[in-house]
Homo-oligomer: A and B are copies of this chain.
């Protein structure tokens, strides 16, 4: 199969994660160029070490590059929509980090451009590609748990981001729980029809002063009548806590947190095991390469991506419904948002 020639826009943390994971674990793709407006000697040198032959300060360099099949958009969120549209018009396949935008109208318009262009599109909900969540999804698909009736997701970060970040994050639902909204759809294979959100400031008053909550529980009603619930906290002192559960007519499947090792130690004081992997890159590194491997496959075989246009829109809609629900202190039907 032909190797997918990739250009990466954005050389920040997530851009580097993709560059590293592609050069190490994705034999079906090669990185042709990296563009970043803040391209400097250090980043150039890093790119060179990574085996990336070309660099630029200009994203257009990537979009116009004849030797590039697909663009990976890893730049700040407010540039996503414009870059997606430009890439689609240039006939480049697109992998874009989530979310497309925080404005729903703009997302929809951008997705229309993509749809019209016919290019392959994938949105970066990497957790779908994690070995644990995927094992759960597979069992639901295979009917092992039967018709989904209750979906439960726990998703807690080891520590909150700086308040300066929270202020521009769009709020906990768009910034953090959006992954879980996607996960509910992914795990259940169902769409969401109604949302009810509660939130509280339990971790840091400064988060409340910034107009956000740091602890939230959201209930979702699914299209088959099933119920889902997500709990988020900005701070789990024991580490990154990501557990999912699907309960259905034939059983219940759930996944636990990965740990650095499976040691169990018994002493006069306690029996103890390892804490969950603390950092999201430790926990989800594999998922970043896996999502690109499957993106490359989709492009090469002309198939839909495992996380496409609708998956780019729906979680944002749900996040906006959740924010509205919290603000108006009432359940919000998805039809109010759509």
Give me the interface of A with B, judged by CB distance under 8 Å. 24-25, 27, 49, 131-132, 134-136, 139, 144-145, 147, 149-150, 152, 154, 156, 196, 198-203, 215-217, 219, 221, 225-227, 229, 231, 233, 235-239, 241, 247, 249-268, 270-276, 329-331
Contact = CB atoms under 8 A, between A and B. Distances in A.
A132 B263 contact: yes
B273 A135 contact: no
19 contacts: A24-B24, A24-B25, A144-B265, A152-B154, A200-B227, A216-B227, A219-B229, A229-B231, A233-B247, A236-B266, A239-B266, A251-B267, A251-B268, A252-B266, A255-B261, A255-B262, A255-B264, A270-B270, A271-B274
Contacts of A259: 271
Given A219-B219, A247-B236, A275 B266 contact: yes
Nearest to A264: B254
A236 B249 CA distance: 7
A196 B219 contact: yes
6 nearest A-B pairs in the assembled complex, by CB-CB distance: A251-B267, A135-B261, A238-B266, A237-B268, A135-B263, A256-B262
Contacts of A257: 262
Given A219-B219, A261-B131, A262-B256, A238 B268 contact: yes
Nearest to A252: B266
A131 B282 CA distance: 14
Contacts of A329: 331
A217 B227 contact: yes
A217 B267 CA distance: 21
Nearest to A222: B200
Contacts of A236: 247, 252, 266
A238 to B, nearest CB: 4
